[in-house]
Amino acid sequence: MAQQRIEVSIAEQSMKLLSDEQLIAHWSISTASAGAGQQQGSGCTPTGLHRIRIKIGEDEPENTVFVGRRATGEVYSPELAAQYPERDWILTRILWLQGLEWGHNRGGCVDSLKRYIYIHGTPDTEPMGQPASHGCIRMRNTDLLQLFEQVDTQTLVRIEE
């Protein structure tokens, strides 16, 4: 069976999906506006080796709104955005990441899973290719749907500065 992995470059604001070292797909993303970092409450994107721990949102429509990892029943629209301007929109699907490096991105106050670090969809109006998130990895919804279908829980995710 092919060995898949995801590589995220904070410097390039890009993500690659590889299978047995062969490039399957490449996307523009958006990581944290605060840069790279592990600390709880920092708003930074954690670095190092992770895995997809949980996949959330399968069978939900594109642009489904999630709050607390649960679909709200809402579908994102400009009107909804105007009604809730303070929301950090988590849309379409969630790939919840678990750090695999004790003391770096797992355990204590540096734990990516406890920090709720995801790969998730975002409104199409949000910029890609530049840091803008609160710590998560944002993707275009159509790109995320493509990725979600191709990966499983346990897929390794390396996040590098």
Could you tell me the CATH number of the domain that includes residue 116?
2.40.440.10
Residue 41 burial (C-beta neighbours within 10 Å; 0-12, 13-18, 19+): exposed
Strands (E), 10-133: 14-19, 22-28, 48-56, 64-67, 70-75, 90-99, 118-122
Q: Any idea which of 31-35, 40-44, 85-89, 112-116 has the lowest mean pLDDT?
A: 85-89
Determine the pLDDT at residue 154: 97
Mean pLDDT of 81-107: 97
Nearest-angstrom CA–CA distance, 34 and 78: 26
Confidence of residue 120 (pLDDT cuts 50, 70, 90): very high
Mean pLDDT of all residues belonging to the chain: 97
The amino acid occupying position 92 is T
When divided into structural domains, the chain yields a total of 1
- Domain around 44: 4-160
Nearest-angstrom CA–CA distance, 86 and 81: 9
